[in-house]
């Protein structure tokens, strides 16, 4: 651990000139140390991805803040009539309540729900200004329904096995929509190559798509590359090459570029569904990623999917 | 307390200090009036789309942050000029990767980037690094991110809820070892280690 700290101090430029000089002398005469420093240097390059990913998320949040601010400002004028309407409604309500209180004695017999409980009878109940909310009683034929609604959705691992096993592949087919991942016809974006590949995809020539577009290992920087990699992921999916599709979607998700990231996160969920039951934990985690973000493009679908899996 | 005097020096020193100061400084720069438009004009007039312009703007901030933290910014020009130069360099690189002709050479912006060797590793092994990082778990990722940003072990312990700086240090070491093992198990990475320059 001492050597670890020493190398890190060297690479992050925290050594004094004397320490640095001594360390470099030692390194020059010790090839193993030199190799270890090189290894640390490479690892630090990799760890920069964590900083980058975090900063990308922050930039998106700053953009959203700015957009929200711009949306809120012009809408203030529209809020004013609403405030007046609410005030008027409040006055009308107050008058109605006052009228009701004045006539409370006559109203009392007709409102049995204000009587507290039979065990604590009162000679005279105090006038109430608001009717209590009606008690929700579970329907007799499904007593567990309401209690279940109040519980948060259980992780997939905790689900009790139901009578019949889930056909995950069929569930995936129900949720998969090609249009979620490709540009709609007539869109402005996309190169000629993209549209040709899309045509092949839509006409079932999947091999032509997977031959024409190579999986990228480098960071996905441009929109065109991201669009093409999305097409490739969908082509893999439709060719039943689910592990390849998952890899392609995950690489897009790592780009940090919206809306590709959110679409790819949903793609990962669908490819994992196709690889069930082996990928149970991964599926649960991928669903959580989407469910943690209410503004996510596929939040509602993810909710529906989790409910379906819990049935 | 938030810094209200955002000179170039204040932004650079905020980024170098790290933590909330870094975040404030980066946000200030990111939202600096006119900067986004300058980058967009350049990208749009050199064959890019509005989405490309947004991408280059974000990449420029990532690179600028890294350059300042790693001591490559020498304050020879205004920070906004430096920012735009990075965005331009990045756009030239992207266009070259796309096989599009461009009459500007990336070497014109050499001062704005890492050495070609580091840049190559960063690009070619990105997928591999991502795969390893995906397997170390969310907690390790967060810990190593803070470590990479030079947070002290006391700060890491406070942020991550460890009992002491010593526990945080041991965890950082453990996470780093896990990351190392995953990388070493990959034959491409093992070859890179073997063939070090």
pTM, to two decimals: 0.54
The answer, yes or no, to whether residue B158 has pLDDT greater than 50, is yes
User: Which of A1, A189, A221 to probe the B interface (max B CBs under 10 A)?
Assistant: A221
pLDDT digits (tens, 9 = 90+) for A159-200: 333 445 778 888 898 899 888 888 887 777 778 888 889 988
Q: Identify the sign of the CA torsion A186, A189, A193, A199.
A: negative
pLDDT given at position B112: 52
CB A51 to CB B145 under 8 A? yes
The answer, yes or no, to whether residue A39 has pLDDT greater than 90, is yes
Structure-model confidence comparison of residues A231 and A124, the more confident one: A231
Of B148, B173, B179, the CB nearest to A48: B148
User: Which of A35, A38, A51, A272 to probe the B interface (max B CBs under 10 A)?
Assistant: A51
Chain A residues with beta carbon closer than 8 angstroms to that of B134: 250
Encode chain A in three state secondary structure.
CHHHHHHHHHHCCCCCHHHHHHHHHHHHHCHHHHHHHHHHHHHHHHHHHHHHHHHHHHHHHHHHHHHHHHHHHHHHHHHHHHHHHHHHHHHHHHHHHHHHHHCHHHHHHHCHHHCCCCCCCCCCCCCCCCCCCCCCCCCCCCCCHHHHHHCCCCCHHHCCCCCCCCCHHHHHHHHCCHHHCCCCCCCCCCCHHHHHHHHHHHCCCHHHHHHHCCCCCCCCCCHHHHHHHHHHHHHHHHCCCHHHHHHHHHHHHCCCCCCHHHHHHHHHHHHHHHCCCCCHHHHHHHHHHHHCCCCCCCHHHHHHHHHHHHC
pLDDT given at position B59: 93
Of A35, A52, A66, the CB nearest to B62: A52
A258 shares contact with chain B (CB less than 8 Å):
no
Chain A nearest C-alpha distance from B19 (Å): 12
pLDDT digits (tens, 9 = 90+) for B102-140: 555 545 554 555 667 777 788 788 888 988 998 999 899
pLDDT given at position B103: 56
Closest by CA to A240, choosing from A173, A307, A157, A144, is: A173
The answer, yes or no, to whether residue A118 has pLDDT greater than 70, is no
pLDDT given at position A76: 45
Rounded to an integer, the average pLDDT of A149-168 is 47
The answer, yes or no, to whether residue A71 has pLDDT greater than 70, is no
Rounded to an integer, the average pLDDT of A20-38 is 94
Across chain A, what does the average pLDDT equal?
75
pLDDT digits (tens, 9 = 90+) for A257-290: 888 888 999 999 999 898 887 777 778 888 888 9
User: Which of A222, A224, A256, A268 to probe the B interface (max B CBs under 10 A)?
Assistant: A222
122-141 in chain B: CB under 8 A from chain A: 122-130, 132-134, 141
Size of interface A-B (CB pairs under 8 A): 112
B190 shares contact with chain A (CB less than 8 Å):
no
């Amino acid at each position: 651990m001492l050597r670890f700290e020493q190398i890190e101090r060297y690479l992050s430029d925290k050594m004094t000139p004397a320490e640095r000089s001594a360390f470099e002398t030692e390194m020059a005469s010790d090839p193993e140390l030199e190799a270890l420093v090189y290894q640390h240097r490479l690892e630090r390059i990799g760890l920069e991805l964590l900083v980058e990913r975090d900063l990308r998320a922050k930039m998106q949040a700053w953009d959203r803040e700015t957009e929200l601010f711009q949306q809120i400002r012009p809408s203030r004028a529209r809020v004013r009539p609403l405030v007046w309407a609410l005030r008027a409604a409040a006055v009308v309500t107050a008058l109605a309540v006052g009228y009701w209180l004045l006539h409370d004695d006559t109203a009392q017999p007709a409102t049995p729900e204000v009587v507290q409980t039979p065990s604590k009878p009162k000679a005279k109940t105090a006038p109430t200004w608001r009717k209590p909310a009606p008690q929700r009683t579970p329907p007799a034929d499904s007593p567990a329904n309401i209690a279940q609604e109040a519980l948060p959705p259980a992780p997939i691992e905790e689900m009790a096995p139901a009578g019949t096993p889930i056909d995950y592949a069929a569930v995936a087919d129900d949720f998969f929509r090609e249009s979620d991942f490709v540009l709609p016809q007539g869109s402005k974006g996309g190169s000629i190559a993209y549209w040709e590949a899309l045509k092949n995809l839509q006409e079932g020539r999947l091999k032509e798509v997977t031959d024409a577009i190579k999986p990228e290992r480098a960071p996905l920087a441009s929109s065109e590359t991201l669009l093409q990699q999305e097409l490739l992921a969908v082509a893999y999916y439709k060719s039943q090459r689910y592990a390849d599709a998952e890899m392609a979607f995950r690489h897009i998700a790592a780009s940090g570029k919206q809306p590709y990231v959110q679409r790819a996160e949903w793609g990962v969920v669908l490819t994992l569904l196709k690889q069930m039951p082996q990928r149970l934990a991964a599926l649960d985690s991928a669903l959580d990623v989407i469910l943690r973000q209410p503004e996510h493009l596929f939040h509602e679908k993810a909710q529906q999917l989790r409910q379906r899996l819990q049935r | 307390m938030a810094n209200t005097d955002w000179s170039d020096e204040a932004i650079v020193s905020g980024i170098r200090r790290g933590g909330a100061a870094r975040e404030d400084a980066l946000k200030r720069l990111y939202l600096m009036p006119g900067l986004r438009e300058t980058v967009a004009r350049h990208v749009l007039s050199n064959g890019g789309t509005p989405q490309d312009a947004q991408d280059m703007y974000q990449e420029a901030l990532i690179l600028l942050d890294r350059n300042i933290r790693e001591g490559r910014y020498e304050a020879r020009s205004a920070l906004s000029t430096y920012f735009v130069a990075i965005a331009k360099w990045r756009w030239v690189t992207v266009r070259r990767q796309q096989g599009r002709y461009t009459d500007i050479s990336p070497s014109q912006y050499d001062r704005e980037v890492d050495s070609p060797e580091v840049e190559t590793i960063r690009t070619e092994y990105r997928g591999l690094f991502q795969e390893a990082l995906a397997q170390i778990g969310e907690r390790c990722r967060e810990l190593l991110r803070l470590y990479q940003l030079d947070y002290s072990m006391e700060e890491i312990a406070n942020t991550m809820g460890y009992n002491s700086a010593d526990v945080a240090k041991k965890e950082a070491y453990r996470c780093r070892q896990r990351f190392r093992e995953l990388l070493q198990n990959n034959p491409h990475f093992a070859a890179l280690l073997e063939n070090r320059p």
